[in-house]
């Protein structure tokens, strides 16, 4: 088949299966398999049989509900390639707000070689983007899941960054006690509520529950991590969280209860209050 006919056929297959964004997904699959950023610029070009069957295979996976990002095996975050697949959360554009916040802090405080920890690192997208932007920083990435750690290791190699990878449970007081003198602690922990978990889109259901579920009200990680990791910050150091829509008042309360000051929120690209930064003012 020629490219345009195959494209239309794939879009129709996906439409019948009620897959959202079928045109976009088909285009991404074409770009990946044909290794061409603009595959439809040559609509009458014949698609070789092996490529056609690879495309149809990926389209069928998409129809079975597998997220596009897992099918492609790679997704972009902060303009950087990140390997993704079953067992790791797909980096979201909302999380780029946290990178912007942290770069703002580094500029404002004129930190030359900040010590940064990314807790609940998953694919490593936060740690890797920060290390790329601040080459002089000492960045470590903490993650518990062995499956996610496989991607985290691959992504630090793929992006050639010296991020230190540490396996550990961020909810363990014993583990947290080994960390000291950080300028910045960043985290995008699991924050979905029990109710959210019953209403997940079918693609999100394919992502690991352990990356999504934050307890009954979604706040378990913030409640436990804030007092534990406060001790790992320097005086004047900042705790920077991403959180779910509508959680800001509860997060503010948790930070205030733990004596954080200068609590500031930022909105993501969709206008939703998505991140917070807060300063440790006591020794
Ligand atoms: C919401 S995902 C965030 C992943 C990544 N930072 C991002 O922004 O795309 C939360 C991550 O926390 C990890 N995680 C869950 N419980 C953990 C724990 N107790 N200790 C360390 N990591 C944990 C999950 O495996 C998952 O990778």
pLDDT (tens digit per residue) in 210-223: 999 999 999 999 99
Write the pLDDT tens digit of every residue in 79-94: 999 999 999 999 999 9
Ligand 1 neighbourhood includes 244 CB (under 6 angstroms): no
**pLDDT at position 79:** 98
Ligand 1 neighbourhood includes 148 CB (under 6 angstroms): yes
To test the ligand 1 pocket, which listed residue (100, 174, 190) has its Cβ within 8 A of the most ligand atoms? 190
Whether 23 and 67 have beta carbons less than 8 Å apart is answered as no
Rounded CA Rg of the chain: 21
CA angle 199, 264, 181 (to 5 degrees): 100
How many angstroms separate the CA atoms of 37 and 34, rounded? 9
Ligand 1 neighbourhood includes 224 CB (under 6 angstroms): no
Q: Where are the domains of the chain?
A: 3-64, 88-280
pLDDT of 282 strictly over 90: no
CA of 217 to the centre of ligand 1 (A): 17
CA of 275 to the centre of ligand 1 (A): 16
CA of 164 to the centre of ligand 1 (A): 16
- Write out the two tokens for 97: 């707000």
pLDDT of 202 strictly over 90: no
Q: What is the pTM of this model?
A: 0.96
| Sign of the dihedral through C-alpha 35, 40, 46, 48 | positive
How many angstroms separate the CA atoms of 245 and 86, rounded? 25
What are the strands, taking DSSP E only, across 64-131?
Answer: 74-77, 80-83, 115-119
Q: What is the mean pLDDT of residues 101-121?
A: 97
CA of 211 to the centre of ligand 1 (A): 5
- Write out the two tokens for 118: 């990314």
- Residue nearest atom 9 of ligand 1, based on CA coordinates: 91
How many angstroms separate the CA atoms of 131 and 184, rounded? 13
Whether 185 and 126 have beta carbons less than 8 Å apart is answered as no
Ligand 1 atom closest to the CA of 95, numbered from 1: 8
Ligand 1 neighbourhood includes 275 CB (under 6 angstroms): no
Q: What's the CATH fold of domain 88-280?
A: Rossmann fold (3.40.50)
**pLDDT at position 126:** 98
Per residue in 174-205, is it b (16+ CB within 10 Å) or e — as a string?
ebbeebeebbbbbbbbbbbbeebeeeeeebee
- Residue nearest atom 18 of ligand 1, based on CA coordinates: 169
Whether 165 and 117 have beta carbons less than 8 Å apart is answered as no
In 3D space, the residue among 192, 233, 239 whose CA is nearest the CA of residue 216 turns out to be 192
């Amino acid at each position: 088949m020629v490219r345009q006919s195959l494209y239309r056929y794939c879009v129709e297959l996906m439409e019948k299966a009620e897959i959202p964004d079928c045109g976009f997904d088909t285009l991404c699959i074409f770009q990946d398999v044909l290794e061409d950023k603009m595959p439809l610029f040559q609509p009458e070009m014949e698609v070789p049989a092996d490529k056609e069957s690879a495309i149809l295979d990926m389209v069928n996976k998409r129809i079975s509900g597998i997220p596009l990002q897992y099918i492609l095996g790679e997704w972009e975050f902060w303009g950087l390639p990140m390997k993704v697949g079953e067992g790791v959360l797909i980096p979201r554009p909302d999380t780029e707000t946290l990178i912007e916040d942290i770069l703002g802090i580094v500029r404002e405080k004129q930190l030359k070689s900040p010590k940064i920890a990314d807790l609940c690192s998953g694919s490593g997208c936060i740690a890797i983007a920060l290390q790329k932007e601040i080459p002089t920083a000492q960045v470590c990435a903490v993650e518990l899941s062995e499956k996610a750690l496989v991607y985290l290791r691959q992504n630090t190699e793929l992006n050639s960054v010296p991020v230190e990878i540490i396996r550990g449970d961020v909810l363990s007081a014993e583990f947290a006690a080994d960390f000291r003198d950080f300028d910045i602690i960043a985290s995008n922990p699991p924050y979905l509520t029990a109710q959210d978990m019953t209403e997940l889109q079918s693609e999100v259901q394919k992502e690991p529950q352990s990356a999504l579920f934050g307890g009954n009200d979604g706040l378990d990680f913030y409640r436990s991590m804030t007092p534990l990791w406060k001790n790992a910050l320097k005086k004047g150091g900042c705790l920077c969280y991403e959180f779910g829509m509508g959680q800001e008042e509860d997060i503010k309360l948790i930070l205030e209860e733990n004596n954080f000051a200068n609590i500031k929120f930022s909105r993501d690209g969709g206008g939703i209050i998505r991140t917070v930064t807060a300063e440790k003012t006591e020794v």
